[in-house]
Amino acid sequence: MLPEQRGTEPAPIVNGYTDLAADVLAHAKACGATEADIVVADGETLSVQVRVGTVDRLTKAREKRLGLRVFIGKRSATTSTSDFSRESLEQLVADTCTLARAVVEDGVSGLPDAAQLATEQPSLDLYDETVLDTETQIDWAKRGEAAAFAADPRVTNSEGAEFDSSSGRVVLANSHGFVGSYKSSTFSLSVSPIAIESGAGTMQRDMWYEVQRKFARLASAESIGQEAARRAVRRLGARKVATKRVPVVFDQETAGSLLAHLCSAISGYGLYKRASFLLDKLGQTIASDLMTLYDDGRMVGGLGSRPFDGEGLTTRKNTIVERGVLKSYLLDTYSGKKLGLPSTGKASRSVGESPSVGPTNFYLVPGLKSPQEIIGPVREGLYVTELIGFGINMVTGDYSRGACGFWIENGELAYPVEEITIAGNLKQMFKNIEVVGNDLVFRGRIASPTLKISEMMVAGN
């Protein structure tokens, strides 16, 4: 079934939100706000879940939300509501100003300077007009799951397959006169099969997924289902291993989680609160010289791209780490001022919360070796494919997580392993990265090729 094309865009709504934002900002000023900004977001979602060949759940939704932040001198507060009636918004403005008056002055608080705000808002190709009907989404999910069942006779159960499509728009406006807006969409399919070992009857689950801003760019449902099945089946027969110190190879997904920890450690908020293991390291070596990392807010079609950041500043491509040397933190205006540095355009914003910082499209520049070439020289080690738990201490860098994967013997994946942990300290782990793979693929806002760390403690039997 072919997707319908959406007709003329309801542009008046954007204008409506722009006018609404201007009204609320004017009202805030009248209530005593010296500065203010406002975020309005709305969206539509259709989600289909299929399990063992039949529709399990169908979800349809429309939502909208407005967030307001006011400053009264150096005091500030934030609020949000889903009720856009005049009466409700007037109450919201009054409540916000009352709250702001109740907190303590914070010397560095405030909007960014007007001169820093984005003046151009390029189209980053974040929006797809395609509207999928329910039948099409059900068909995709069914085909994904069916492909997993067909791929291997040991796939005999399933947690289901889910196809989601969503689209929405964001409007940001502030009392300096900035008004920005953009639309975005995502289409995603995930398949979660369960494989059962015939003799022992033990079960293993895994999943595979893809997310794209454009429907046409999604891989086939069949290829996603087959990969999900391959991942579940290969875990059958997993066992524990003896406790020992060995080299550890992280696949793309788990390597990405290490980069996510690095993002937290160089977030301006963690740094000024002295709650990071990478304090005062700008310009210093924090990682192996194989590591060069960028954060690019303007990657065309990127899952983390946006034309302006959560405060209205121009998004950009920053060099975060260059050959192991830390070149830039992730900063917004506030955390930058606390550290005596300018914003790096990394403000992220949830409606109704004050800005925080986050990566846009954060990635590690790939090396030359394939995953096979990385595993090949390892005599004994661990290839990690999944990590669970929250044993990460951002203040000290201490790291201890549950892991699943494969034991490497003489350069081969010998057998699957589970119920083990890997432990170390992130400060040392980044320095001990010995090989960076050539297999960088963007599957989310943080992307990494395969990585090898020279040695970590694996705890098992």
Partner 1 sequence: MLEPVQLTQFGVTELEAQHALDRLNVRDVDYADLYFESRISESVSMEEGIVKRAAKSVSQGVGVRATAGEKTGFAYSDELTKKDLEIAADTARYIANSPRGDSPVPVPIQRRATRDLYPVERTRAEVPTADRVTLLNEIDAEARRYDPRIKNVMASFNTEYKVVAVATTDGALVGDIQPLSRLQITCIAEDRDNRQVGSFGGGGRVEFEYYREDNRHLSYAREAAREAILNLSAVDAPAGVMPVVLAGGWPGILLHEAIGHGLEADFNRKKTSAFSNLIGKRVASAVCTIVDDGTLPFRRGSLNMDDEGTPTSCTMLIEKGILRRYITDKLNARLMGIPLTGNGRRESYQSVVLPRMTNTFMLAGESDPQDIIRSVKKGLYAVSFGGGQVDITNGKFVFSASEAYLIEDGRITSPVKGATLIGNGPEILTKVSMVAHDLKLDNGIGTCGKDGQSVPVGVGLPTIKIDEITVGGTQG
Nearest 5°: the CA angle 240, 241, 244 is 140
Q: For the CB of residue 200, give the shortest distance to partner 1 in the complex, in Å.
A: 12
88: region left, alpha or beta (phi > 0 left; psi from -120 to 50 alpha): alpha
Dig out the tokens for 90 from the structure.
């007037």
Q: Is 154 exposed, middle or buried (CB count within 10 Å of its CB: 0-12, 13-18, 19+)?
A: middle
Report the C-alpha gap between 64 and 167 in whole angstroms: 12
When the beta carbons of 213 and 427 are compared against partner 1, the nearer one is 427
Minimum Å distance from CB 369 to partner 1?
Answer: 28
Measured from the CB atom, is 2 or 274 closer to partner 1?
Answer: 274
Judged by DSSP in three states, 402 sits in: strand
Task: Write the single-letter amino acid at 115.
Answer: A
- Closest contact distance (angstroms) between CB of 131 and partner 1 is 14
- Where does 108-212 show beta strands of DSSP type E? 130-131, 155-174, 179-196, 203-205, 208-212
Nearest Cα to 250, choosing from 421, 375, 410, 373? 375
- We find the least distance from the C-beta atom of residue 15 to partner 1, in angstroms, to be 20
Shortest CB 104 distance to partner 1, Å? 5
In whole angstroms, the minimum distance from the beta carbon of 359 to partner 1 comes to 20
Are 214 and 126 spatial neighbours (Cβ–Cβ below 8 Å)?
no
CB of 404 to partner 1, least distance (A): 8
Give the torsion sign (CA, 448, 453, 456, 461): positive
Nearer to partner 1, 188 or 319 (CB): 188
**210: β partners:** 189
Task: Take residue 291 and report the two structure tokens written for it.
Answer: 């590591």
When the beta carbons of 9 and 105 are compared against partner 1, the nearer one is 105
Cβ closer to partner 1: 190 or 318?
A: 190
Cβ proximity to partner 1: between 319 and 400 the closer is: 400
Q: Which CB contacts under 8 angstroms, 24+ apart, belong to 20-24?
A: 20/66, 20/84, 20/89, 21/171, 21/173, 21/179, 22/173, 22/179, 23/89, 24/66, 24/68, 24/89, 24/92, 24/93
What is the nearest approach in angstroms of partner 1 to the Cβ of residue 417?
11
Beta bridge partners of 51: 54
Which of residues 95 and 222 has its CB atom nearest to partner 1 in the complex? Answer: 95
**Secondary structure (3-state) at 349:** coil
Using the minimum distance from each CB to partner 1, give the nearer residue, 299 or 417: 417
CB of 370 to partner 1, least distance (A): 29
* Cα–chain center distance at 51: 26
What DSSP designation does 111 have?
P
The alpha helices in 266-392, defined as continuous H runs, are: 268-272, 333-339, 371-375
Is the CB of 6 or the CB of 273 nearer to partner 1? 273
**Least distance from partner 1 to the Cβ atom of residue 16, Å:** 15
Q: Choose between 55 and 413: whose C-beta lies nearer to partner 1.
A: 55
What is the closest distance, in whole angstroms, from the C-beta atom of residue 355 to partner 1 in the complex? 11
Closer by beta carbon to partner 1, 25 or else 238:
238
Rg (CA), the chain: 24
Place of tokens 């939300």: 65
Residue (of 75, 68, 79) closest to 101 by Cα position: 75
